[in-house]
């Protein structure tokens, strides 16, 4: 059980209690790229009442579902398999469907809200960047992680230390996080206007789910997989 303390970082809360990712997601608090920041600082910046947020954390902790896996104990290859099977596959399936929907809603309803065109554009950018990003992980970083797991001496990587691809992936995660934040702003936190048709509503629901999945995905890479890989690499003499 975690000790409630508003000065603790958001990433630490989610590492100790993975189910809290939902609480933070619902409050629009970034627990992946912004996970290193203390909770009280982020609440202040977002105008959230820290007492209410701590209460929501306490409630979620007390009713925590056991389905949310604690990946801290997993091996490097188990983590990589899970990220690929669950998060990458989800994006490969869902990204094209939502791309079509964002374009259609912008075309049909763009005259009522000009932000819909911008949303389709920003989402299109997210899809292109994530597609390249995931290929880099699958072709470079994930095989390195698997190799490291069983290595007795530091493996030779063509891009030097594993810290190099990890740094690049971290920067790309920040970029994805900032595109998601723009999308949240453009959609009033994925809230449909009264006049929204079913496609519009389904698009917002799909984008909101995708935001939650990407946040969880990046959290697992930034706060679990990458530190684990760096630690193993350091133990082999950097
Ligand atoms: Fe990934
Ligand atoms: Fe990633």
Helices 89-109 and 198-219 pack at an angle, to 10 degrees, of 150
For 162-197, what is each residue's pLDDT tens digit? 999 999 999 999 999 999 999 999 999 999 999 999
pLDDT reported for residue 17: 79
Protein residues with C-beta less than 5 angstroms from the ion ligand 1: 137
d(CA 205, CA 214): 14
CA 191 to centroid of ligand 2, rounded, Å: 27
pLDDT reported for residue 61: 76
End-to-end CA distance of the chain: 34
For 118-151, what is each residue's pLDDT tens digit? 999 999 999 999 999 999 999 999 999 999 999 8
Q: How confident is the model at residue 11 (pLDDT cuts 50, 70, 90)?
A: confident
d(CA 162, CA 17): 28
The structure's pTM equals: 0.82
pLDDT reported for residue 62: 73
Please report which ligand is nearest the Cα atom of 32. Answer: 2
CB 135 within 8 A of CB 219: no
Mean predicted confidence (pLDDT) in 99-123:
97
């Amino acid at each position: 059980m975690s000790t409630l303390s508003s000065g603790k970082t958001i990433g630490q809360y989610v590492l100790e209690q993975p189910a809290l990712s939902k609480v933070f997601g619902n409050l629009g608090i970034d627990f992946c790229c912004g996970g290193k920041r203390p909770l009280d600082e982020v609440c202040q910046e977002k105008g959230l009442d820290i007492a209410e947020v701590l209460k929501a954390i306490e409630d979620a902790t007390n009713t925590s579902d056991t389905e949310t896996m604690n990946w801290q104990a997993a091996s490097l290859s188990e983590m990589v398999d899970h990220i690929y099977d669950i998060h990458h596959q989800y994006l490969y399936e869902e990204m094209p469907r939502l791309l079509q929907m964002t374009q259609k809603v912008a075309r049909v309803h763009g005259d009522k809200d000009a932000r819909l065109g911008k949303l389709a554009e920003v989402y299109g950018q997210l899809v292109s960047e994530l597609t390249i990003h995931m290929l880099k992980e699958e072709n470079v970083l994930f095989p390195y992680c698997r190799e490291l797991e069983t290595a007795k001496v530091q493996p030779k990587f063509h891009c030097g230390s594993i810290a190099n691809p990890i740094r690049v992936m971290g920067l790309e995660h920040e970029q994805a996080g900032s595109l998601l934040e723009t999308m949240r702003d453009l959609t009033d936190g994925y809230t449909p206007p009264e006049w929204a048709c079913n496609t519009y509503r389904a698009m917002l629901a799909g984008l909101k789910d995708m935001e939650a999945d990407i946040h969880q995905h990046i959290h697992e890479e930034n706060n679990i997989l990458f530190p684990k890989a760096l630690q193993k690499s350091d133990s082999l003499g950097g």
